[in-house]
């Protein structure tokens, strides 16, 4: 069975988006961080997105700027198989993208049961909440950024039942970011 990993960025005060739905605060790059990002993107997992995250990624990764800034990540993002969950998007335009308009949890259950590479859900907080609540997430890679936003949207907004997680490892970066790897406890 395929595994589902969530990769997301949060502020020190626990928001993945600020009050204006902006995530530009999560782009504090340096050589060490860029190397980690490139290494992290080297897997062959299928990428999952909600529409908003999909459109944000689409606005950057297929551009010459992405090729110049992070060529390894850009190549991976552009060539990877992708699934976008949306009720409003009519036709995806990014290479290798499948549109799913139906039940997200049912589709992820189907994807996990199918053969193939593991699944990586990026951004997409409302989808993270739904899949976490349904106990479909196998691991979380959360990047904590050294910024306090004061308000915004939390990553697990709407989760009704407590999620017990077990910390597997951490890594601190010179730019102040801290990567945390969690798995469900028990």
**Could you tell me if residue 122 is left (phi over 0), alpha (psi between -120 and 50 degrees) or otherwise beta?**
beta
Mean pLDDT is lowest, of 13-17, 31-35, 92-96, 99-103, for: 31-35
pTM: 0.91
SS3 content of the chain, % helix, strand, coil (to 5): 30, 30, 40
Separation of CA 127 from chain center: 10
Domains of the chain in start order, with CATH, are 4-184 (3.40.430.10)
For residues 111 and 152, give the distance between their C-alpha atoms in angstroms, rounded to a whole number.
31
9-55 confidence digits (pLDDT tens):
999 999 998 999 888 888 877 888 878 877 776 667 899 999 999 99
Measured in degrees and rounded to the nearest 5, phi and psi for residue 87 equal -95, -15
Q: Which residues contact 163 (CB under 8 A, 6 or more apart)?
A: 132, 156, 184
Task: Give me the numbers of helices (H) and strands (E) for the chain, helices first please.
Answer: 6, 10
Quote the percentage of the chain above a pLDDT of 90: 72
β-strand pairing of 119-122 with 165-172: unpaired
Q: Compute CA 98 distance to the chain's CA centroid, rounded to the nearest angstrom.
A: 17
């Amino acid at each position: 069975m395929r595994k589902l990993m969530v990769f997301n960025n949060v502020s020190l005060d626990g928001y993945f988006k600020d009050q204006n739905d902006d995530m530009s605060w999560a782009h504090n790059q340096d050589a060490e961080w860029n190397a980690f990002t490139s290494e992290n993107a080297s897997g062959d997992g299928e990428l999952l997105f909600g529409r908003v995250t999909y459109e944000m990624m689409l606005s950057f990764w297929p551009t010459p700027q992405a090729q110049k800034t992070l060529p390894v990540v850009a190549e991976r993002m552009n060539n990877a198989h992708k699934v976008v969950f949306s009720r409003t998007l009519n036709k995806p335009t990014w290479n290798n993208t499948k549109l799913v308009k139906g039940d997200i949890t049912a589709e992820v259950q189907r994807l996990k049961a199918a053969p193939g590479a593991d699944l990586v859900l990026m951004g997409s907080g409302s989808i993270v909440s739904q899949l976490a609540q349904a106990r479909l997430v196998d691991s979380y890679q959360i990047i904590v950024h050294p910024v306090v936003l004061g308000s915004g949207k939390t990553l697990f907004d709407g989760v009704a039942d407590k999620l017990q997680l077990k910390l597997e490892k951490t890594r601190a970066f010179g730019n102040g970011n801290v990567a945390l790897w969690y798995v469900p406890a028990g």
